[in-house]
Structure 1
Amino acid sequence: MNLHGWIIYNGSLKGRKFRDFAEWIQEAAQKQGSSTNIYKNNELLVLLQTNQIQLLTEDMPALPDYVVFADKDIYLAKQLELLGIPVFNRADTIELSDDKIATYQKLSQHNIPIPTTIVAPKVFISENTHLENLDNISKKLGFPLIIKEAFGSFGEQVYLIHDQIMLRQKAMELQGKPYLYQQFISSSYGKDLRLQVVGNNVVAAMKRQATDDFRANVSAGATMQAYVPSKQEESLAISAAKAIGADFAGVDLLFGENGQAIVCEINSNAHIRNMYDCTGVNAADHIIAYILNTLYAKKKGTRT
């Protein structure tokens, strides 16, 4: 049975990496006998009417057997699910992954090791923010500490705070936005691990190292090298992905002081070219194999 899929990415974002991911998934699907179409998210509009849920597009094709959703357009992903289409990753997973606060809450709920985290209280823009809480926050976390905006990518909304003056300045700057305060893991300064999880397996891993930055994002200039994770690191990454319901994800781990890994972030739409360049593993092949096996098993179970 030849299953047909859609691959959806955000066409409004600059750069080739988003289209690149979609094309890699498409090539992997073709190799495994599954036809696909690639769509920009704004080519498939959410249309809601009384007692009717559908998509609005110029030339509406037949609905697919599955969707690989390489975007953060939660409403579109949810619409596809409401139409009965299996979506990988699901809308609620993408939403969790995109919100760092919600991610840490879910990880803590599942007893997964994370840096100590304090969520900034919700305030509205005014002269009176929660500055009276900053002394308690700094006493709990110590300096330096990390401030992270709840929504952000490529490490651009993550700040290293060295003292009380910087803390107050950043708190005033971010008022009205959701963000968090977090323990700084000094033993992982400028380095971390990225493990690519697909289903119940870690299919590839790399170590990232920055020379002059506390963050280890490759997009910010960090170098990468292939890495063989320990069983504990693999188990932690898989557990973290499962905690947010991810079918596949890039899980970032920090090096704790005692050598135990700590979950930093989970990316439900991790770009896979860097992992391939570093390790030679094409995660797209594993992602498509997982999706097709999941769908075939479900159809077989339905027939029986």
Structure 2
Amino acid sequence: MYGWVIFNGHMQKEAFLQFPNQLKVTANTLGIEIKLVPNHYITQIVTSSNTSLKHKDNIALPSFVIFHDKDITLARQFEQISIPVFNSSTCIDICDNKVWMYQVLARHEINIPKTVFAPKVFHNTPTLDMESYLNLTKPFSYPFIVKEGYGSFGEQVYLIKNQKQYLDKVTEIYDKPFLLQQFIDSSYGEDLRLFVVGDHVVAAIKRQSKEDFRANVYLGSTVSAYTPTEKEKQLALQAAKAVGATYCGVDILLGPDQEPIICEVNTNAHVANILKYTGIDVTHSILNTIMKEIH
């Protein structure tokens, strides 16, 4: 088998390349040929009669693609010429847009925090109806979360402590998709990441921060290996299935009485910390699952 791992060619930091590099190493042990391909090395062409892709060096197109990027247009182009993509373009699109992700999770009756979506407002709108934005806050008490639809590493997630903070944030991000969400204070600075492959939770870590309400590693949290409960595993599997993920990192908050609540599903979850703190190389499970799906 011959596959490509697509990554964003304009993000060459080690953290972004760790997963593609590990996939290539693991693939070699399994007798699978893998090439790492930056997304901008591929030209996408459509005409009224043809859809095509061309690598800049004219190398042969793959029999499957592992897509470690959010270039959804490119993922769709592969699918249009019948090359399987993991995760699918639809799955990546759902999880990249947190507004859509929570709608999908809610449709499948997955346990999530209470969430309210902000309306679409165009850039440079001269006057904002702040009363309507205040109406959005009625299901919540302060503090609550404001989360932009698109964002990574926790950087577009805000803990709103009072009305002034909220209105200032609305003024700042009104022309972006965003949502308001119940703050799970019992999970302040703490969450779980369960890594799902196929029908199994293959590894899990706990992330904890003493400095921030967010537990993202890139914001300085500490990490430890974690053994999830059966309830946590089932919730993670249900969330992964709801968004259509072949593999993903599922972030879980801990509600009152340690009730698991889905925070997010990540189709481009980095695996370095899973390997470092659990000793589990999830790329073996990923490649074995993909091989079963395409045969």
TM-score by length of 1: 0.94
Matching residue of 1:20: 18
TM alignment of 1:127-146, pairs within 5 A: 127-146=126-145
SS of 2:142 mapped into structure 1: coil
1:203–1:283: 8 Å Cα contact kept in structure 2?
Answer: yes
Deviations 1:170-210 (Å, cap 9, x if unpaired)?
Answer: 01111111100110000000000000000000000000000
- Taking the aligned partners of 2:58 and 2:236, their CA distance within structure 1 comes to 39
Residues 14, 34 of structure 1: CA spacing in aligned structure 2 closer, same or farther, 3 A cutoff? Answer: closer
Give the letter aligned to residue 140 of structure 2: L
- Structure 1 residue 278 displacement after superposition: 0.9
Alignment pair present for 1:160 and 2:159: yes
What are the superposed Cα offsets for residues 133-176 of structure 1, whole Å, 9 maximum, x if unpaired?
A: 23333331110000000000000000000001111110111111
Is the Cα contact below 8 Å between 1:97 and 1:103 reproduced in 2? Answer: yes
Does the CA-based 8 Å contact 2:118-2:136 persist in structure 1?
Answer: no
1:13-54 deviation line (CA, Å, top 9, x unaligned): 241122221111111111111111110000012111221111
Aligned to 1:65: 63
Aligned to 1:35: 33
Which residue does the alignment assign to 2:229? Answer: 230
Scaled by the length of structure 2, the TM-score of the pair is 0.97
Residue 194 of structure 1 is matched in structure 2 by 193
Aligned length: 294
Aligned-residue CA RMSD in angstroms? 1.1
In the alignment, is residue 260 of structure 1 matched against residue 259 of structure 2? yes
Q: Which runs of 5+ in 1 are unaligned?
A: 297-304
Measure how far apart 1:58 and its partner are. Answer: 2.6
User: Is 2:108 the counterpart of 1:92?
Assistant: no
Cα drift, residue 131 of structure 1: 1.3
**Secondary structure of residue in 2 paired with 1:13:** coil
Q: Which runs of 5 or more residues in structure 2 are unaligned? A: none
Q: Which residue of 2 aligns with 1:169?
A: 168
Verify the 8 A CA contact 1:192 1:255 in the aligned structure 2: yes
SS for the counterpart of 2:56 is coil
Q: Deviations over 1:44-88 (max 9, x none)?
A: 121112211111333222221111010000010000011111110
1:45–1:76 contact (8 Å) kept in structure 2? no
Give the SS at the match of 2:251: strand
- Do 1:134 and 1:167's aligned partners in 2 also have CA atoms closer than 8 Å? no
Aligned to 1:278: 277
Residue matched to 1:4: 2
